Structure 1
Amino acid sequence: MELRTRTVEGTDPRLFAEIIQPEGGRSASRPVLLLHGFASSSRLNWHDSGWVGALTAAGRTVLTVDLPGHGRSAAPEDLDAYRPSRIRADLLQLLMDAGVLPLAADNPESGVDIIGYSLGSRLAWEFGATQPELVHRLVLGGGPGTDDPLAAFDLDAARANLAGTGEITDGTTAELLRMASLVPGNNLPVLLSMVEAVRQEPFVPAEAVPAMPVLLVAGDLDTFAAGNAELAELSGQAELLRLPGRTHVNAVTSRAFKQAAVSFLG
């Protein structure tokens, strides 16, 4: 693999991104953009779990980006930087920097495929719906589901808990905060800023539906992805894959998930 790293020009905060090409240089196929989940990173979600290796082995160029406040990207104080609409605009800048934009009218392989996980799936759904000429296919793992877990997040209780002045009684909030605290280097107050920004732009999948084929994947023990069947019905051209015995945490490591995604995007 050939790896190039960069910070995305024209975005503030500066976002850390990578372009990883297969052996032998740029592939003929369109690149694949990978969007990680809440409290994760490109390294944890995509490199360590084998996704980058699987995709480049299949001849695909891979683009990764750490979301604001995650991984090696900046963690600004400005709440606007964490809004889904702002992140989608920054993704357009990333694709421009990477040479994906502008589209080539005479090249049927122009544009991009997107694989998202958890929060990354929500961003991918909305990005595909708003950029139908740019996105060819979507693979959405671990959700996004029709019920956004971040929308029900008890922000006040979580902040009180971090300050040592309160307890969390909501199970979803407790589980999300627990998962975030397990990742070394995570800045929990910054991640709560992202939760606040995401809650100000609720996920309403029926308002903007992607027009391209979609593969929806989740572990059969993943309660965060319970609404996948409803998303498939909204799409009208979606495939569903359930991973036996997998949860929201470990579905992303599934070999069957990787094989299905590579085949679907092929």
Structure 2
Amino acid sequence: MPSFQSEGFTLAYEVYGEGAPIFAIHGFASNGIVNWVATGWVEALTSAGYQVVTLDNRGHGQSEKIYDPAVYGAPDMARDVANLIDHLEFEKVALLGYSMGARISAFVCLQNPEKVACAIFGGLGANMPKPMLDSEQIIEALNADALSQVTHPTGRQFRIFAERTKSDLRALAACMGGSRTKIAVEDLKSIAVPVLVAVGSEDEVAGPAQPLADLLPKGEALVIERRDHMRATGDPQFRRGVLEFLKRVYPS
């Protein structure tokens, strides 16, 4: 994978297709391949005429592993996205973020609004302005010597996913310790670009989509029926809703 330097760290990315650029920002413990390629997103978006850029967030995938929670603030990782936009010499892009990637995308909208045409906040709804639920239990689960020692349901869910993606557990624990940056309600109200908030109907991690969409001046809500946080990512309902949204606000 190609890489670039951002804020002193080496980060991996990939570019697929041609057309209007969409930057896809993955969720916690995932990476560009797992979140966006394996789930069919890259194929769907490139087939619709878009160019997709996937970034492995710091501490994830093929990017540099760091073990200091202080460098994993969501605003810091948002600067990585903005730096990659500049590195690839784009002026303005669409953002597609899932879970942690949605929080990062929101900070890109706040810190570099001139670089953002529109955004999709997937897997994070009403809980966007709140610290992540069960975060301490997730950190404990990641630091446990073995999965068999993890009993907390959410912690166990994330530990299983981290092992499945062959992630660096220490780096993820550091990331969870630093990436839970709270985003103020008033800041959310200042995001002026069109935003689609897409959340599974059974997603307790994210909270419902509509309350967050209501805070955003140009917010829309999409409910991914019968899906929880982990199973909504690659659901066809999600892809269809995003493609319809993009066709209206960001045509290829």
Residue number in structure 1 paired with 2:59: 69
227 and 206 in structure 1: CA distance in 2 versus 1, 3 angstrom threshold: farther
1:103-138 CA-to-partner distances (Å, cap 9, x unmatched) read 3xxxxxxx1000111110111112112222221111
1:134-173 to 2 correspondences below 5 Å: 134-146=115-127, 148=130, 150=132, 152-154=134-136, 158=140, 162-163=144-145, 171-173=153-155
Max radius of gyration: which structure? 1
Once the 2 structures are TM-superposed, how far is the Cα of residue 161 of structure 1 from its aligned partner? 6.0
Residues 1-266 of structure 1 aligned to structure 2 (within 5 Å): 5-22=1-18, 27=19, 29=20, 31-100=21-90, 103=91, 111-146=92-127, 148=130, 150=132, 152-154=134-136, 158=140, 162-163=144-145, 171-181=153-163, 183-199=164-180, 201-209=181-189, 210-266=191-247
Look up the SS of the partner of 1:154 in the other structure: helix
Tell me the secondary structure at the aligned position of residue 135 of structure 2.
coil
- 1:133 counterpart SS class: helix
Q: Once the 2 structures are TM-superposed, how far is the Cα of residue 167 of structure 1 from its aligned partner?
A: 6.2
* Residue 12 (structure 1) shift: 2.6
Determine the C-alpha separation between the residues in 1 that align with 2:138 and 2:165: 23
Q: Is the 8 A contact 1:139 1:217 kept in 2?
A: yes
Q: Deviations over 1:39-89 (max 9, x none)?
A: 011100000001011111111111110011111111023433322121111
Structure 2: tracts of 5 or more residues without a match: 248-252
Give the match's secondary structure for 1:116. Answer: strand
Q: Secondary structure at the match of 2:23?
A: strand
Query: Does the 8 Å CA contact 1:15/1:66 hold for their aligned counterparts?
Result: yes
CA distance in 2, matches of 1:52, 1:191: 25
What does residue 108 of structure 1 align with? none
- Could you list the per-position Cα deviations for residues 195-242 of structure 1 after superposition, in whole angstroms to 9, with x for gaps in the alignment? 11124x323343344211111111111111214222112103211111
CA distance in 2, matches of 1:66, 1:46: 11
Question: For residues 93 and 130 of structure 1, what CA distance do their matches in structure 2 show?
Answer: 12
In structure 1, C-alpha distance between the alignment counterparts of 2:77 and 2:61, rounded to whole Å = 15
Query: How far does the alpha carbon of each residue in 1:171-203 deviate from its partner, in whole angstroms, 9 at most, with x for none?
Result: 44443334333x23112121010011124x323
Q: Judging changes above 3 Å, is the alpha-carbon distance between structure 1 residues 62 and 172 closer, same or farther for their aligned structure 2 residues?
A: same
Normalising to structure 1: TM-score of the pair?
A: 0.82
* SS state at 1:115 partner: strand
| CA spacing shift, 1:179–1:45, aligned 2, 3 Å | same
Instruction: Report the AA paired with residue 169 of structure 2.
Output: L
Q: Contact 2:22–2:51 at 8 Å: present in 1 too?
A: yes
Cα separation, 2, equivalents of 1:152 and 1:89: 26
Query: Cα distance 1:10–1:41, how it changes in 2: closer, same or farther (>3 A)?
Result: closer
- Deviation of residue 157 (structure 1)? 6.9
Indicate the SS of the match to 1:39. Answer: coil
Contact preservation (8 Å) 1:126, 1:208: no
SS in 1 for 2:15: strand
Could you list the runs of 5+ residues in structure 1 that have no partner in the other structure?
104-110
- Aligned-pair Cα RMSD in Å: 2.4
Read off the aligned partner of 2:25 and give its amino acid letter.
L
What TM-score, normalized by structure 2, do the two folds share? 0.86
Alignment length, in residue pairs?
Answer: 244
Q: Secondary structure at the match of 2:9?
A: coil
Taking only the aligned residue pairs, the percentage that are identical comes to 27
